[in-house]
Chain A
Amino acid sequence: MSKLVDNLCAKISALFLLLLLFAICIAGMLTTLYLYEENYYNLNQFNFYASQSCRQLNREYAVYAFEDYFLYEQAEDKSQWDTYQTAYVHDLLNPETSNFLFDVVNEQKEIVFSTYDENATYGITVACGTYESDGEQFTIIAHIRSPLLPGDDYYQTAYWLEKVFNNRYLILWCSCIGLLLCLALFIFLLTAAGHKRNVSGISLNWQDKIPYDLYLCLAVWLEWMLLRILPYYGGHSLWSTIVGVTLIATAMMSVMAAALLTTATRLKSGVLVRNTIIYRILHFIWFLLRKGARSLGIMFGSLPVTGKWLLTTILLFFANFLLFLGVFHHRNNGLWLFLLLVMYLCILRFGSIITIQMHRLFDYCWRLAQGEGEEQLDVSGMYAPLRRHGENLNNIGKGISAAVESSLKSERLKTELITNVSHDIKTPLTSIINYIDLLKKEPQTSQKTTEYLAVLERQSAKLKKLTEDLIEASKASTGNIKVQLRRTNVNELLQQTIAEYQDRFAAAHLETVISSNQDEIFIPADGRLLWRVIDNLLNNVCKYSLSHTRVYFQVTSLQQKVYISIKNISREPLNISADELMERFVRGDASRNSEGSGLGLSIARSLTELQHGSLHLEIDGDLFKAQLVFDQAANWTEDAATQNLEETLRPPNPQ
């Protein structure tokens, strides 16, 4: 099928076949119509003399017959008329050869003229016309021979009519089938329209390139002209009618077929609307308008913001003024009012869009300031100046998140490095500690050996503590520790902690003084971590306190906050600021001789912050004060805290 669709020969043959078949069908249908008029489909026997064709011929011949009679009446010498041979004006009425013999009867029923032949036989005798001459009426009586003599219209008509009559059903069926065939061919042509061999898609031929509206007008005009000449072909005789109508109908059909085929091609390729003169004109006008608007837009866009605002305000003012003039000075002011309303709605819409976009920008800017600029602002659909501003903000946000990400990454890497290195140090350290221990059990050769071994032991213990603190410090500062906040009794925890340190306090000759403004004070904290915070603080207290002094522990609950403070007197003068003390590897004694890594306070602060608390140090002369501040657990529930915790512990997005 697709091959056939692409085949030009097949299409041309189909088109010719279509027109031919159509012509045949039209002829056949006209014939059928005629046969139906004659009622031939109800008759079994063909009778020419009763047919309309015969009557038509009778009428035509009667006119000639009366003319002959009239000439005869006018003639001076009537003798020559007797012979009938030479004098007849119309040779076709020659009684010798004609099938039409006639009598002319006047008003008194007298035969005034006759070509009647008594020896001949007749199929029908009929009155076929009344004519007036000099106020007298004459009737023509026709006698039609039977059988007909060959040579004239009667014989011809009867001959063909009889053939048609004999094939009347065949003609009917042929017409019907032909019509169906026409339809099929037409559908085929519609499908095939626009397809070309070796060319994919729809290709247009020359007539598809004529503007469609022009083409349609031409086609309609042609059809109209053809329709106009149709009546000239009707009425003369059956055959001329059939042939004429068939020709015109076929011509009309070919015009229509061409129009429909080109319509199909255009529909398929989608150029139906575009290839019209009207469309082209409208398109050109639209193009001009757009170009004008764009150049105006470029001019407007190149103005600075203040200029735009000024121009807009002036234009709006003028528009407003003109519209108000219209409203007050025209009788028909409904239209003006409507225009005014439309203008105000436009201003409202534009203003609200600008406001919304500015609000989004402000909102994003605020989030950026809060450090939440990970996601980008969607600037599509914003007005140009605002969009540029939004893009700038986006770039700032990108820069910030890149910086945060890289710092997070480096911090993570640092923690990983510290953990791994500490781990690798631990294994040889185990051997060192164990073999020092073993050496100590061996017989000592000299006093010096014992001394050196003691140094080794002390230093290896220090190294051990240092590696452990290092890991803890790096974990605590990066939040790489599980935190489970629970309602924790501060007084209970403090007592437990002090109990752990009782022996060391006693050894350092320190007295503890504990006071609390309430019996039970609860804070949301992870007991294990809080113990390590206080552990680190008390470790310092033991190391650096002046002996025979008191250490004060105070728990105060005040305005939803809980303050835990530990105060002690330093043995050495503290010539260092509280902030410096908090830094890693910084220690109270400049000589660094005492045990400890210098990480204790840093660990304590990191762990406190992981529990949403804060650690403050205060130095007042020799008085050293460490204060922990937590929220009170009065309105605090564990569920909410767990949720918060999950949020804080969630790893930062890789984005």
Chain B
Amino acid sequence: MNEKLRYWMLVLPALAVMILFYIWPVLNIWGISVTEPSAGLGNYTRMFDSNAVRVSFVLTFRVAAITTILCLLLGYVLAYTISNFATRVRPLMLGLVLLPFWVSVLIRSFAWIVLLGRSGLVNDALMDAGLISTPIRFMHNELGVLIAMVHVMLPFAVLPMLTNMRGIDGSYMRAARGLGASEWRAFREVYFPQTLPGVFSGGLLVFVLSLGFYITPALLGGGRVMMISEYITYQIQEFLNWGLGAALSVALLVATAIVLLVAARFVNLRKTFLERS
């Protein structure tokens, strides 16, 4: 048996699964978007004319962008602390960052409902402490979606930045300070620029995942914060509007692809998605 054939035999099972259960259905969706309920681009013109669709897309990009920024801010501090200060507790801190990966997103989202609800733990505690007299609305609005999204996405921001930072030798900062730069200046001019690849990777990962995220926005938005993936589900499950739902899916796919294409100019995509942690 020659080398090439052996190679194909090895990847064949995985390839078959991918084609059968992923590529084929995706192509079908493309098909549905131009055939249901009638052949033509009717779904797409409806989509572009619909105010609700535009609102949902804007909301989706806004939530994804804010989530990304918050994850990067929180994640940068966390990654910096872990890679530069936590010597003895580093394994513990790394474990805590990875821990959420072992708990289902569904459970984590329900946990946030328990915490943020009208008579949830947070509101109860604040009222008992006398800080507020009526419960704050943490849920069924963008605030709740953002809180839970940041929590779910944080590890995806931390890990690429952590990998990046752990590759930066401490001698750069020492060299800068030895040459006369203050600690803050050395961080700003010498350390931070070296962490930008990690920041871009983490940001891109969080943004792309957030664009198509479903469970957390659906649960914490309670139908009031309708991000695009929930909108698609709504169209298909509630209205049996397969044509428009499929067209929206294609639009989301295209939008994500455009984000990736633009990002590819600044970020090494291979590193971001294939060589993570």
A and B interact: no
Question: Which A residues are closer than 8 A to B by beta carbons?
Answer: none
